[in-house]
Copies of this chain bind each other. A is one copy, B any other.
């Protein structure tokens, strides 16, 4: 086990609290059951290339009732445990791969939320037919490759798919959604919104075909929302 550099300790403790609190949003919005799902956030280190950054993530197989800041675990960006009394989530390698290869990303979330995972099972991208989806995703939510756990193939699939898209969410084939953001809160928001649009457009398609939205209108909605919205 490594050690947390003195200069990062305070921020690591603050990040444990943030990541612990954000896990409560996953069952609150119906995205997970039992111990499924995980949220992580990057803690930036001293090195300009990010090589000493850390990540804080949920431990493996622990229920949502047991999640406290102290239970969160700290890993380096190779996914190795740096601090914590439990094993990190089995999805840690995928989170770490994303942080290593996408320096602008500060938060990652993974769930098996029902409707997003159903699109993933059919390997069918979610079409952009709602104004709220144009706002948040700027186009369709793409499908990533089928990848087994155990090496870098999930992380690589996430990164390669998201690099060619404006969407902060990717649906990994037969698996479920991974989302990214500038911090964990943004990635959790994307996880909530990808399930929302997955469900609404599923329901719309059950009784016919949604009207498409013109590409120029999608661009206009996306640009305004990303640049103007919020406080």
Question: Given A112-B196, A229-B60, are A204 and B118 neighbors across the interface (CB < 8 Å)?
Answer: yes
Nearest Cβ on chain B to A114's Cβ, whole angstroms: 5
Q: Does A2 make an interface contact (CB < 8 A)?
A: no
Binds B, one of A12-20, A39-47, A168-176: A168-176
- The residues of B that contact A209 with a CB separation of less than 8 Å are 122
Question: Given A205-B207, A211-B173, are A193 and B33 neighbors across the interface (CB < 8 Å)?
Answer: yes
- The residues of B that contact A226 with a CB separation of less than 8 Å are none
Q: 13 A-B Cβ contacts within 8 A? A: A34-B189, A61-B229, A87-B230, A114-B196, A117-B204, A121-B130, A121-B204, A121-B211, A122-B204, A122-B207, A148-B217, A148-B220, A202-B203
Q: Does A206 make an interface contact (CB < 8 A)?
A: yes
Q: Does A149 make an interface contact (CB < 8 A)?
A: yes
A203 touches B33 (CB 8 A): no
Contact of A114 among B118, B199, B220 (CB under 8 A): B199
Q: Interface residues of A, CB < 8 Å — how many? A: 59
A residues lining the B interface (CB < 8 Å)? 29, 33-34, 36, 59-62, 86-87, 90, 112, 114-115, 117-119, 121-124, 129-132, 146, 148-150, 173-176, 189, 192-193, 196, 199-211, 213, 217, 220-221, 224, 228-231
Contact of A150 among B86, B90, B224 (CB under 8 A): B224
A112 touches B200 (CB 8 A): yes
Question: A224–B62 Cα gap in the complex (Å)?
Answer: 18
